[in-house]
Amino acid sequence: MTIDQPSDEDLAQASPENIAKMTKFVENFAQKSGSYLHPQREITDFLVIGLAKNIDEVGKPLCPCMFFEDKQEEIEKKFWICPCEEMQRWKYCH
C-alpha cells in the first residue's frame, strides 16, 4: 500500500514554522534515542503535520494519532505529548 505525499491542503493545516520545528524534532529524536521513523516517509510527514497542528492549536505537540476529548486536560497529564509513551516504549513511530 502506498500513501500520497501530503498535499498543499494537508500542509496548510499547520504553520510552516511548526512543521519545520517538528520535522527537526522527530528526526533528532529518532537519531538520539535509537528509535525509528516509519519507512514510508509520507506517514512521518503526516505525523509531523499533526504534531505541528496541535502546537498551533494548544501549544504542545500532542500525539496526533490519539483522540482527545479535552486536549488541555491531556496536556496537564503530559502522557501523550510527543514522544508519547508508545514511542518511548516500542522505539517506533507508527
| pLDDT (mean) for 73-91 | 81
- pLDDT tens digits, 20-55: 999 999 999 889 988 888 888 999 999 999 999 999
Q: Which residue has the higher pLDDT, 59 or 81?
A: 59
- Angle subtended by helix axes 41-58 and 16-33, to nearest 10: 120
Q: Show which residues are catalytic.
A: 65
Q: Where are the domains of the chain?
A: 16-90
Averaged pLDDT for residues 56-75:
92
Residue 1 has pLDDT above 70, yes or no: no
pTM higher than the cut 0.85 = yes
Query: Domain 16-90, CATH 3.90.460.10 — does that match?
Result: yes
> DSSP alpha helices (H): ranges in the chain?
8-11, 16-33, 41-58, 71-77, 85-90
What is the model's pLDDT at position 51? 95
Distance CA 57, CA 74 (A): 13
First to last CA, the chain: 15
